[in-house]
C-alpha cells in the first residue's frame, strides 16, 4: 500500500464531457503514467466519452509500445505521437496496422516509409520553435510530393507552452497547408485559440489534449498516503538512513509513498517565478540544516522530511506531542504527471471532512 487517488468519478466525468463538447476536434492523449490514472483507464474513459461525442474517433499515445495497452479499452484509431524511428521495431510493425496512425518527423524517414510501407496512415510533423521533432518548414513541399502513395492523415504541430501559441500555430499551419491541403493536428492551444484557428484554416482541425483534459477540475480528486508507523524521538537523537539528529522532541512518522511513487517530484519544474524556483529547490533537495519540506500534510500543514524519501515509504518529522495514529490517511501533494498511485478509488461517498485530527 502506498498512495491512493480518491476520485469523484461523476464530477470528473462531467468535466471531461464539458471539454469534449467544447472541443469538437478533441484527441485525448493517454501516455506515460496515464496522468496518474494509468493509460488503460484513460482508454476506457475516452471510449465512454466518445459514446456521446461521435467526432471523438482517435486516441493518442506517446510511443509505439503504449498502443497495446490502450487497445482493450479503445477500438478507434490510435496516433503514436513520438515520430517513427527506423530503430524501433514495434513502431515499424505498426506501420502495417490499419488502426494506427504513425507520426513522421524526418524527410528521410518519410521516404523509407513510402517505399517500404505504402499502406501506412501518416501524420507529418512540422518543426516548431520547441525544436523537438518535425520537418523544417522549407521541407514541407518535398514531403507533400511523397505523400501520394500513403494515407496522409494531416500535418501535426506541437506548440511550446510559452509564447504566442496562436501566432505560431497559425503561421506553421499556413505554411503546411500551402504545401498540401490536409487536416491540421495541434496541441497546447486555449479553447479560444483553437476556435479561432478552427474557423480560419478551412480544414479539419484537431486538438490533442492530455493535462487540461484529465487533470483539469482539480477539486475532483485528492491523493492520500497512509501512516504506517510512528516513533517518539528526543531532540539530538540520531534518525534515518543518514543518522541526522532530530532538531526537537517529536515523532518520526513513517508514511507510505516514496521515490517509486514520484514523491518529492511535485515541484513545478518549469516554474518561472522566483517563488516557484525556490519551491523546486526545497522540494527537490535538502537545505543546509538537512531539512526539506515534504509534500505530506499532517494536522493541516506540510511537514518536513527527516531525509529524502525512500523507495516506498518516507520519514516525516512531526514536532511536539503530535497525536497522529497508525493507519491514518494523510494528504500528499503529488504532480500526477510524474506520480504513480497504487489505487484509484471513487470518492463520491467519502466523508466530507478528510483532514486528520491531532
Ligand atoms: C504529450 C503531448 C501532448 C499532450 O500534452 P499535454 O500538455 O499533456 O496536454 C500533445 N501533443 C504531443 C505531441 C505530446 O507529446
Is residue 118 predicted with pLDDT exceeding 60? yes
Return the best residue to mutate from 60, 102, 125 for the ligand 1 pocket (most ligand atoms within 8 A of CB).
Answer: 60
* pLDDT classification of 322: cutoffs 50, 70, 90: confident
* pLDDT classification of 320: cutoffs 50, 70, 90: confident
For residue 21, give the C-alpha cell.
463538447
In whole angstroms, give the CA distance from residue 341 to residue 33: 9
CB of 206 shorter than 6 A to ligand 1: no
Instruction: Report the pLDDT value the prediction gives residue 321, as an integer from 0 to 100.
Output: 79
Is residue 30 predicted with pLDDT exceeding 50? yes
For residue 225, give the C-alpha cell.
498516503
Instruction: Report the pLDDT value the prediction gives residue 323, as an integer from 0 to 100.
Output: 75
- Residue pair 240/307 in contact by the 8 Å Cβ criterion: yes
Residue 208 Cα to ligand 1 midpoint, Å, equals 7
Phi, psi of 343 (to 5 degrees): -145, 145
CB of 154 shorter than 6 A to ligand 1: no
Instruction: Report the pLDDT value the prediction gives residue 287, as an integer from 0 to 100.
Output: 56
CB of 211 shorter than 6 A to ligand 1: yes
Is residue 96 predicted with pLDDT exceeding 60? yes
Is residue 285 predicted with pLDDT exceeding 80? no
The residues with which 344 forms a beta bridge, in sequence order, are: 5
Instruction: Report the pLDDT value the prediction gives residue 291, as an integer from 0 to 100.
Output: 75
Phi, psi of 325 (to 5 degrees): -120, 150
* pLDDT classification of 277: cutoffs 50, 70, 90: low
From the number of C-beta atoms within 10 Å of its C-beta (0-12, 13-18, 19+), residue 91 rates as: buried
For residue 35, give the C-alpha cell.
496522468
Residue corresponding to grid cell 505554411: 175
* Spatial CA neighbour of 175 closest among 128, 206, 140: 140
Amino acid at each position: 500500500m502506498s498512495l491512493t487517488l480518491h476520485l469523484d468519478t461523476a464530477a470528473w466525468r462531467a468535466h471531461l464531457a464539458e471539454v469534449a463538447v467544447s472541443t469538437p476536434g478533441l484527441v485525448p492523449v493517454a501516455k506515460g503514467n496515464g496522468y496518474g490514472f494509468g493509460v488503460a483507464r484513460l482508454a476506457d474513459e475516452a471510449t465512454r466519452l466518445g459514446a456521446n461525442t461521435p467526432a471523438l474517433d482517435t486516441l493518442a499515445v506517446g510511443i509505439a509500445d503504449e498502443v497495446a495497452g490502450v487497445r482493450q479499452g479503445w477500438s478507434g484509431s490510435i496516433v503514436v505521437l513520438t515520430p517513427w524511428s527506423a530503430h524501433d521495431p514495434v513502431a515499424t510493425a505498426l506501420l502495417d496496422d490499419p488502426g494506427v496512425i504513425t507520426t513522421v518527423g524526418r524527410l528521410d524517414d518519410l521516404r523509407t516509409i513510402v517505399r517500404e510501407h505504402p499502406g501506412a496512415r501518416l501524420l507529418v510533423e512540422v518543426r516548431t520553435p520547441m525544436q523537438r521533432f518535425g520537418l523544417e518548414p522549407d521541407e514541407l513541399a518535398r514531403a507533400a510530393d511523397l505523400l501520394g502513395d500513403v494515407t496522409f492523415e494531416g500535418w501535426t504541430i506541437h506548440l511550446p507552452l510559452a509564447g504566442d501559441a496562436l501566432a505560431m500555430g497559425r503561421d506553421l499551419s499556413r505554411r503546411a497547408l500551402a504545401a498540401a491541403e490536409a487536416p491540421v493536428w495541434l496541441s497546447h492551444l486555449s479553447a479560444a485559440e483553437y476556435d479561432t484557428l478552427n474557423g480560419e484554416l478551412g480544414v479539419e482541425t484537431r486538438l490533442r489534449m492530455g493535462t487540461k483534459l484529465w487533470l483539469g477540475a482539480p477539486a475532483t480528486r485528492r491523493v492520500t498516503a497512509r501512516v504506517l508507523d510512528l516513533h517518539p524521538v528526543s531532540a539530538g537523537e540520531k534518525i534515518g538512513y543518514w543518522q541526522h539528529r532530530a532538531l526537537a522532541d517529536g515523532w518520526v512518522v513513517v508514511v507510505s509513498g516514496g521515490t517509486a511513487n514520484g514523491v518529492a517530484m511535485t515541484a513545478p519544474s518549469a516554474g518561472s517565478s522566483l517563488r516557484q524556483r525556490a519551491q523546486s529547490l526545497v522540494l527537490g533537495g535538502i537545505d543546509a540544516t538537512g531539512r526539506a519540506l515534504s509534500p505530506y500534510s499532517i494536522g493541516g500543514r506540510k511537514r518536513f522530511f527527516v531525509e529524502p524519501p525512500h523507495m516506498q515509504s518516507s520519514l516525516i518529522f512531526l514536532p511536539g506531542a503530535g497525536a497522529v495514529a497508525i493507519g491514518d490517511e494523510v494528504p500528499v501533494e503529488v504532480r500526477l504527471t510524474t506520480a504513480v498511485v497504487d489505487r484509484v478509488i471513487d470518492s463520491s461517498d467519502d466523508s466530507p471532512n478528510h483532514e486528520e485530527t491531532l
